[in-house]
């Protein structure tokens, strides 16, 4: 039961505080986290498709 609740709470908190997280990372590293998230999700989808193909 906990293995479903804890990730759901973490995901909810990330979504809730996404702008603050994005702003802190931008101030520290001068890079937008939105770009990294889009690239990472695209790579994950590509890996899934490649694994399904072979």
Tens-digit pLDDT profile for residues 38-51? 899 999 999 999 99
Please tell me the predicted confidence (pLDDT) of residue 16: 94
- Tell me the DSSP string of 1-49: -HHHHHHHHHHHHHHHTHHHHHHHHHHHHS--HHHHHHHHHHHHHHHHH
Count CB-CB contacts under 10 A for residue 32.
13
Domain residue ranges in the chain = 2-53
pLDDT score recorded for residue 48: 94
pLDDT at residue 12 in the model:
93
| pLDDT, tens digit, 9 for 90 and up, residues 1-54 | 788 899 899 989 988 998 898 898 889 988 888 888 889 999 999 999 999 988
Q: What is the pLDDT of residue 37?
A: 83
Q: Quote the CA–CA distance of 11 and 8 in Å, as a whole number.
A: 5
């Amino acid at each position: 039961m906990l293995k479903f609740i804890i990730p759901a709470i973490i995901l909810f908190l990330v979504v809730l505080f996404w702008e603050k997280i994005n702003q802190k990372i931008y101030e520290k590293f001068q890079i937008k986290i939105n770009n990294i998230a889009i690239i990472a999700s695209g790579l994950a989808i590509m890996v899934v498709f490649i694994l399904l193909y072979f």
